[in-house]
Structure 1
Amino acid sequence: MSEKNIGKRSGFVTLIGRTNAGKSSLLNFLLGEKISIVSHKVNATRRKINGIVMNGSDQIIFVDTPGLHESGKLFNKLMVDVALKSIGDADLILFLASVHDDIKNYQNFLKLNPKIGHILVLTKIDEASQEKLAKKITEYSKFHDKFLALVPTSIKKNICKKPLLDEISKNLPEHEYFYNPELISTTNVRDIYRDFILEAIFDSVSSEVPYSTDVLIDKIVEKEELVSIYAKIITDTNSHKGILIGKNGDAIKRIGIKAKKLISEFEDSKIFLKLEISIKKNWKSDKNIIKKSFVY
């Protein structure tokens, strides 16, 4: 490998935390570009998404994962499996905890006995008073022998981006680059598109419907000035299909507009998006169907 492809430090960093702790938002923030689904609804992230950040001469490969949570449902168990497998594959863990979270979520993480080091990232600090922030830091400081560092951050206020990246770099192994430094992600573009469409669904229809819905990309046609995407939205009942379509097709139109905007901003290109809705009853109980939705 040529000298220009050799980095000072390079490694994989898994983002772990409860659902809706801000993992996807942090990845997009550190990357400087949106590639990961962001929603105020829990369990929006279903697949691993890789984002590559160059911090000086160091290469950091972030892995955004589904949130850790307890559930007896097969679909949710597989999401948690994705997150737990990512812990074992990493060089470093970022455990994200909102300033509003109870420390029991962190205690439950410690019970997993991770074999690699972790940095505790306290998120959303702009939403807390100085008194509340100091109290929360004191609570986590009791576990100072468990984490490598505690870094309070705010995405909205752009607080501690560089200090966090430097702390991560410091704890990565010396290694040549795993990927071309010009790449921002190793995730298949199909999975990025499908997550953008899923995000549009989460933002456009009632709370229960997105959890019974997924997206499959049937075909992508790339031309010089146009990317055409043909996608299928899978749901489990006629009533959910009706909600996804909406009165006079209003819902599916909103979904399409939102998804096209997200994809267009990512690709910096004109987008044609064709969406179809397909009913597959009990798809969330079919292991073969579900596993097509996850990247292991």
Structure 2
Amino acid sequence: MKSGFVSIIGRTNAGKSALVNSLLEEKIALVSHKQNATRRKIKAIVMHKEDQIIFIDTPGLHQSKATLNQMLIESAIKSMGDCDLILFVASVFDDLKNYEEFLALKPKVPHIIILNKVDLTHNNILLKKLNDYAKFSEHFKAIIPYSCKKKSYKKILLDEIVKYLDEHEYFYDPEFLTPSSQKEIYRDFILESIYENLSQELPYCTEVIINKIKEKTKLIIIEAQIITDTNSHKAMLIGKNGATLNRIGKDARMKITRLAQNKVLLKLYIVVKKNWQKDEDFLKKMLNYEE
């Protein structure tokens, strides 16, 4: 029996959260085409034969001087030292600059490269990319192509990961999908729905707080605040006759219902908090930030 922690690292939009959901075969992590969507580390428990792998989805590595983004980057880098193994996730379309920047961080634990989105390209492009990475072979333990949609090479990937975990009793009940709280997951589902229904920069000006979760026999009642920074953004979130807010609520409710396997009543309220992205105390609370 082996059990251990695996941090998933890579640039924004490399497909880290999609990889977590694919390996778990259940949606718990926020996925968006927009950059820097992941703000909080989410853990997913995957049982592979008799072994337990705890994946840690992390914010994307990127360059930014903004307070919020700096804290996201620091959170991702810290997770590189709080694990047994790192999965460095890169799109098959990425150049090697991102990997070189990752190596410059001098990871202290072994890492495997996941070459993601291989279903979107041809074999000759994949082979060329594998050959490009070969010059770094002294640094990584393995390089594995992967498709989150087709789950290609899933068993090969899990078999490889287990090699680098210690003999250890399970850290969590094998029946659990995640040790992350309902609040964390539901909050990110609402945030994902905001990303899906609003364009340009507006989603980056919003955050979500779950105020209350009440579970009844056949119903989950959730009250949540959407935090934004200006009254004009509040109006955009509401939309004409409340249409945008209703659409966000409907999408989020469907996601939560699918995971909870129960009916959901979702009550959303919008609150204006100016400059919340620069308020370090507020951000630490929102991001579950650890010093």
- State the TM-score, normalizing by the size of structure 1: 0.97
Residue number among 176, 182, 189 corresponding to 1:189 in the alignment: 182
Residue number among 80, 86, 101 corresponding to 1:93 in the alignment: 86
Q: In structure 1, how many angstroms separate the alpha carbons of the residues matched to 2:225 and 2:189? A: 13
Matched, 1:145 2:138: yes
Q: In structure 2, how many angstroms separate the alpha carbons of the residues matched to 1:132 and 1:238? A: 48
Matched, 1:108 2:112: no
SS at match of 2:143: strand
Residue number among 18, 32, 40 corresponding to 2:33 in the alignment: 40
State the partner residue of 1:64. 57
Matched, 1:273 2:269: no
Matched, 1:30 2:23: yes
State the partner residue of 1:282. 275
Q: In structure 2, how many angstroms separate the alpha carbons of the residues matched to 1:281 and 1:178? A: 41
Q: In structure 1, how many angstroms separate the alpha carbons of the residues matched to 2:214 and 2:281? A: 27
Number of residue pairs the alignment of both structures matches? 289
Residue number among 192, 195, 198 corresponding to 2:191 in the alignment: 198
State the partner residue of 2:5. 12
SS at match of 2:70: helix
Q: Which stretches in structure 2 are left out of the alignment for 5+ residues?
A: none
Aligned-partner residue type, residue 96 of structure 2: I
What is the CA-CA distance between 1:152 and the residue it aligns to? 0.3
SS at match of 2:102: helix
Q: In structure 2, how many angstroms separate the alpha carbons of the residues matched to 1:204 and 1:231? A: 17
Q: Which stretches in structure 1 are left out of the alignment for 5+ residues?
A: 1-7
Aligned-partner residue type, residue 150 of structure 1: I
State the partner residue of 1:228. 221
Structure 1 stretches of 4+ with a deviation exceeding 3 A read: none
State the partner residue of 2:115. 122
Q: In structure 2, how many angstroms separate the alpha carbons of the residues matched to 1:225 and 1:81? A: 41
Work out whether residues 44 and 56 of structure 2, in 8 Å CA contact, stay in contact via their aligned partners in 1: yes
Q: In structure 2, how many angstroms separate the alpha carbons of the residues matched to 1:157 and 1:56? A: 21
SS at match of 1:89: coil
Aligned-partner residue type, residue 27 of structure 2: K
What is the CA-CA distance between 1:137 and the residue it aligns to? 0.4
What is the CA-CA distance between 1:205 and the residue it aligns to? 0.9
Between the aligned residues of both structures, percent identity stands at 55
Q: In structure 2, how many angstroms separate the alpha carbons of the residues matched to 1:207 and 1:276? A: 22
Work out whether residues 187 and 210 of structure 2, in 8 Å CA contact, stay in contact via their aligned partners in 1: yes
